[in-house]
Amino acid sequence: MKIADLAVPEQVKEIIIKSGIVELYPPQEDAVKAGALEGRNLVLASPTASGKTLVAELCALKHLVEKGGKVVYLTPLRALANEKFDDFKKYAAVTKAGGKRIRVGISTGDFDSTDHWLERYDIIVTTNEKADSLLRHRAKWMEEISLVIADEVHLLNDAERGPTLEVVLARLMQVSPDIQVLALSATINNVGEIAEWLKAEHITTEWRPVTLKEGVLLHDEIQFKDGDARKIEKKTGDSVINLALNTMKSGGQALVFASTRKSAVALAKKFAVQISEALSKPLRRSLEHEAERVLVAGERTRISESLSELVKCGVAFHHAGLGGGHRRLIEDAFREGKLKVLTATPTLAFGVNLPARTVVVQDYRRYEPGYGFYPISVLEYKQMAGRAGRPKYDKTGEALLVAKTGDEASYLMEGYVLARPERIWSRLAVERIMRGHVLATIAADFAHSEEGIYEFFGKTFYAHQYDTSSIKGLIAKILKYLYEEEMIEVSGNDIKATRFGKRVSDLYIDPVSAVVIRDALKEKPACLTELSLLHLIAHTPDMGPILRPFSNEVDELAVFMDEHKEEFLVDVPIEWEDGLGYEQFLGEVKTAMTLNAWIEETSEDQLIERYRVQPGDLYRVIENAKWLLHAMHELAMLFGEKQILPLALGLMQRVDKGVKKELLPIVRLEGVGRVRGRIMFNAGYKTIEDIKHAPIEDLTSLPLIGPRLAKRIKEQVGGFVKTETWKKLDEEDDWKQKALTEY
Ligand SMILES: Nc1ncnc2c1ncn2[C@@H]1O[C@H](COP(=O)(O)OP(=O)(O)OP(=O)(O)O)[C@@H](O)[C@H]1O
Ligand SMILES: [Mg+2]
C-alpha cells in the first residue's frame, strides 16, 4: 500500500513522503485495514522496529485534520517522550479542521499543576505519570482529548510504570466514552486480553523490516537461531571485544547491554584500547571535540572526566547515574556514528531508534537486593535485542546473548532466542500504589461512593484479568485508612474528599507521605532547622530509593545522628529494637546530609567522593526534594503552620539551584548556575544591580564566562553597552562559548 493512496490529507502525505517513506510496512497496512484511520480502537502488537509510530502519526494527523479534537501520546519514559515529540514536530505546518496550524506540545515535568498552556496544543506528548497528574487536576482541556495513543503498552506488566498507565487509560475512557484508543505493543502472548479490555480490535504480526539475526555467542563462535553459525576473528582474548571489532570493521556500531551501572562502566573501559586503535584520524579529531563537550556539559566531575576519556576512544557508557545532559550527548554521538561501542543498562531497551548493527546482551541475569539473581523476562530480552537493525540505519541487525559454556548456550537459545514473550499481568493491586489512585478517584470527582469506586476500578486491566471482587478488600482497607487520616468524609453513601485529601491528591504525593509530613509539622520540635525538613522529606515514601550508607559511613552517620537528635521531626528508632528501621533512618540521614552539602555548594565531584553518589541519583534526589518541599509548604499553609513556610520556601529555592542563600538573586539569571554564580559573587557581583553596572570586559575576564554568555547576562539585567562592544562580542571565538550550559 502506497502512502500516496492512503485516505489521509494530502498535506500529511507530502510530509511523510518527503521524509523518505513511500510505502506502508505490512503491519502498518494491517492497522489501516483494521480501521485505525476510521476511528476504530486498536491494539497493534508487532516486533521492534516495525514502524508502529507511523501508524500513530497517520491516525493522529487524519483525526486532527478531519475531526479536530485533541490527541495525547503516552510514553513510559521521558527520553522516549522527547524522541516522539521530535517525530511529531515535523507536522507542525499541517492545517487542522478549522484552518489553524497543528501545534505539538510536550509535558513531562512538574506534577502539581494543571498546565493550562497545554490547552493550546493539538498533540500532547507526555509521560504516563504526567497524564495521571493532569487528570487528577481535572484540567479542562483533557475532556477534549478524542484520541489517546499508548506506546509500549506491554509495560502494563511493569510494577512501577504499569499501574499508572492502566489507571490513566481507564480514566480517559471514563471522561470521554467515545475516545479512540490506539495501543502500541511488543508482541506478547495475551494481546487479545488487552484488546478486550480496551474494547479494541487487535493485530499481531511477526514482520520486521530489517532482518534481525538472533543468536548466542560462545567463545569465538556465534550460533544463530536459523541454524547458521559464524566464527569471529580472534584479535583479543575477549570474545565480546572481538565481536565489537568485527562489527566496526564492517562499518557498524555495537550496543552492549549490561545488568548494572558498574558493569556498564567496567565494560566500556575494557573496550576502550582496542576500539581506539581501530579509529580513523578524522574520527579521532571529531571525538576529541565530543570529549570536550562532555566536560563542559555540567560541573566537572570524576565521572564526566572518565566518560570524556572513553569518548576519545570511540566508546561510552549510558545509565541512569548520568545526568540528562550527558545522556543526550552520548545518544547523539552514537546516533551520528561517532561512538563505535556504547555500553548501557536497560535504560535504553525501550522504543528508541539507534544505529546499532550489533546488540550484545552481556548478562541475562539481574540482581535485586533482598531477592538475589533472577533471569530477565523474554519480553525484556526481545526489547533489548530489538534495538539492533533499525530501518533508518542498517540493512540487517544482529542480537546476541553471551554464553560461557555449551550448556549455558543451549539454555539461552531455548529460553530466550527461540522463546515466545510471556503473558503480561496487571500489577495494580498493591496497597502502596493503590492508595493514591483511590484517593484521586474521589478527590477528582471520578466517584462519590464506595460503589462508584468499585465501578471505576472495575474498568481497569486488573479487574479485567482478575475481576473486581479480588480488589475490593484492598480498596476497603485503603478507604478506612483515608477516613481515619481525615482525607475523606463519609455521610451515608456519600464519600467526599476533605480539603486535606483534595490537596494531597493534587500534589500527587502518596497519602502516607502527607500523613508523615502533617504529623511531623504538628510536633513543633524544640529545634527546627533545615536538617529537620530535609530529613523529613527523606523519611516519606515519595523520596524513592534513599541514598544507602556504605558500611564505613555508618559510624560517622551514627555520631551525626546523635549530635542532631533534637532536630529530627520523627523519633529515631532504637538500633537493637528495630534494626531495619534504624538502618532505614541512617539512609534518610545520609540523603538529608547529601542535600545539605548540595545547598552548601559542595562541588558535584566532592559529593561523588564523599557520599559515593552518582550524578543521576543526586539529580533524582534533588528533583524529588524540590517536589516534596513544595508539598510540605502547601500542607503547612493548609494547616496554618506558619513558622515552616519561609524555611520550606527558602530550602526549595536553594535545593533547586544548589546554592547558599546569598547566591539566590544572581542564579536566577539564565546561564548562571551554582558554579558561575559563585565565581561572580566572589568577584564582587553580588546583586543584579552590581552586574548591571559591571563593564562587560570585566565579566568576560572571569573564568567560565565567555563573550556570548556575558552578552546574554547583560541582556537580562539591562545596563549600557556600546554598539561596537556588542559587535565585537559576537565575533569573538572563545572556547568558553561552548560552555553555555548552565552550571
Ligand atoms: N513504511 C516505512 N518505510 C520506511 N521506514 C519506515 C516506515 N515506517 C517506519 N519507518 C521507520 O522505521 C523506524 C522504526 O520505527 P518505530 O520507531 O516506529 O518502530 P516501533 O515499531 O515503534 O519499534 P519499537 O517496538 O522498538 O518501539 C523509524 O526510523 C521509522 O522512521
Ligand atoms: Mg515504538
- For residue 17, the ligand closest to its alpha carbon is 1
Which residue, by CA, sits nearest to atom 4 of ligand 1?
A: 21
Q: What is the per-residue pLDDT for 736?
A: 46
Question: What CA–CA distances, in Å, run from 292 to 63, 296, 312, 377, 506?
Answer: 45, 7, 9, 39, 43
**CA 203 to ligand 1 center in whole angstroms:** 17
Predicted local confidence at residue 23, as pLDDT = 96
Q: Which of 29, 353, 393 to mutate to test the pocket of ligand 1 (most atoms within 8 A of CB)?
A: 353
Taking the model in full, what pTM does it have? 0.89
So what's the pLDDT on residue 34?
95
pLDDT of residue 735: 45
| Residue 421: per-residue pLDDT | 92
Question: Nearest residue CA, atom 7 of ligand 1?
Answer: 51
pLDDT of 739 = 46
Separation between Cα atoms, residue 85 and residue 486, nearest integer Å: 41
**Cα 31 to ligand 2 centre (Å):** 15
351 CB less than 6 Å from ligand 1?
yes
Distances (CA, A) of 226 to 39, 417, 500, 588: 40, 10, 61, 52
Question: What is the 55 CA–ligand 2 centroid distance (Å)?
Answer: 10
Amino acid at 323: G
pLDDT for the residue 469:
82
Nearest-atom index, ligand 1, CA of 186: 25
Q: Name which of 212, 222, 244 is nearest 409 in CA terms.
A: 222
pLDDT at 708: 81
Q: Give the CA angle between residues 499, 505, 509 to the nearest 5°.
A: 125
* 48 in contact with ligand 1, CB cutoff 6 A: yes
pLDDT tens, 471-501?
A: 899 999 999 999 999 999 999 999 999 999 9
SS3 content of the chain, % helix, strand, coil (to 5): 55, 15, 35
Q: CB of 427 within 8 A of CB of 155?
A: no
Mean pLDDT, contiguous 10-residue spans, the chain (743 residues): 93 95 96 95 96 96 93 91 92 86 85 72 93 87 92 93 95 93 94 96 95 95 94 91 93 95 94 93 95 89 94 95 88 95 92 93 87 91 95 93 96 96 94 95 94 94 89 94 97 95 95 96 83 96 91 92 92 92 95 96 93 89 94 96 93 95 92 91 93 87 84 81 70 49 61
Least Cα distance to 440 among 505, 512, 511 occurs for 505
Residue nearest atom 29 of ligand 1, based on CA coordinates: 392
Q: Is 309 left (phi over 0), alpha (psi -120 to 50) or beta?
A: alpha
**556, containing H or E segment:** helix 554-563
- For residue 89, the CA-to-ligand 2 centroid distance in Å is 16
Which residue in the block uniquely carries the three cell numbers 509548604? Answer: 633
Q: Is 361 helix (H, G, I), strand (E, B) or coil?
A: strand
Quote the pLDDT of residue 731: 61
CA distance 549 to 538: 14
| Closest C-alpha among 256, 251, 257, 246 to residue 220 | 246
Amino acid at 276: S
Q: Is the CB of 25 under 6 A from ligand 1?
A: yes
Determine whether the shortest distance from the Cβ of 50 to ligand 1 is under 6 A: yes
If one counts every other C-beta atom within 10 angstroms of the C-beta of residue 636, the result is 21
53 Cβ closer than 6 Å to some ligand 1 atom: yes
| Residue 24 beta carbon below 6 angstroms from any ligand 1 atom | yes
Parallel, antiparallel or unpaired: strands 494-497 and 42-45: unpaired
353 lines ligand 1 (CB under 6 A): yes
Of 697, 643, 680, 654, give the one whose Cα is nearest residue 524: 643
pLDDT for the residue 737: 45
CA of 52 to the centre of ligand 1 (A): 6
Q: What is the DSSP string of 183-235?
A: EEE---TTHHHHHHHTT-EEEE----SSEEEEEEEETTEEEETTS-EEE----
- The CA 222 to ligand 2 mean position distance, Å, reads 28
Q: Which atom of ligand 1 is nearest to the CA of 53?
A: 18
* Burial track 212-240 (b if 16+ CB lie within 10 A, e otherwise): bbbbbbbeeebbbeeeeeeebeeeeeebb
| Cβ of 21 below 6 Å from ligand 1 | yes
**Residue 131: what pLDDT?**
92
